[in-house]
Amino acid sequence: MTMITMAAPMMGMPKMNPAEMLSGMMGLPIAVGWFMHFMIGITFAAAYAFFFINLVKKVSNNILKGAIFGFAAFVFAQIMMAIIGMMMPMPKMEGSMILMMVGSIMGHVIFGVVVAQFVKEDYPS
């Protein structure tokens, strides 16, 4: 996902830097924002491995499982950002909000697919 956010401007999408957004909301250095972003990713990957994978047992394609998870993570992130936005000021977003949303969905879905490729289900023989 981080690679998508870095490459977004090269694909004609607005600049997206979740670490900058996280650190900016709290007035902390960007290194803290990067740390938080990676920790959120690790937490989401653990949620996939220990919870979400059981919800999508009927889906046989691992890539589709990951895409579903990534989209669910996107929706969750949007809900959380809306809630956080009510509690503290959000940094001003620049560029097309539609393109930013498309880029965010792409990043989350790619993240989900990568997680699904690393986390394999163990079926008893």
Give the model's pLDDT for residue 91.
Answer: 66
pLDDT of 109: 94
pTM for the complete prediction? Answer: 0.80
- What SS3 state is found at 119? coil
Q: Which residue has the tokens 């994978």?
A: 53
What is the pLDDT tens value at each position of the chain, 125 positions in all? Answer: 677 777 777 777 777 788 888 888 788 899 998 999 999 999 999 999 998 988 888 888 889 999 999 999 999 988 988 887 788 776 666 777 788 888 889 889 999 999 999 987 665 44
Q: Compute, in degrees rounded to 10, the torsion defined by CA atoms 84, 88, 89, 91.
A: -50
Query: Which pLDDT score, from 0 to 100, does residue 125 have?
Result: 41
pLDDT score recorded for residue 111:
93
Give the span between the Cα atoms of 124 and 8, in whole angstroms: 42
Cα angle 80, 86, 92 (rounded to 5 degrees) comes to 85
**12-23 burial, b if ≥16 CB within 10 A, otherwise e?**
ebbebbbbbebb
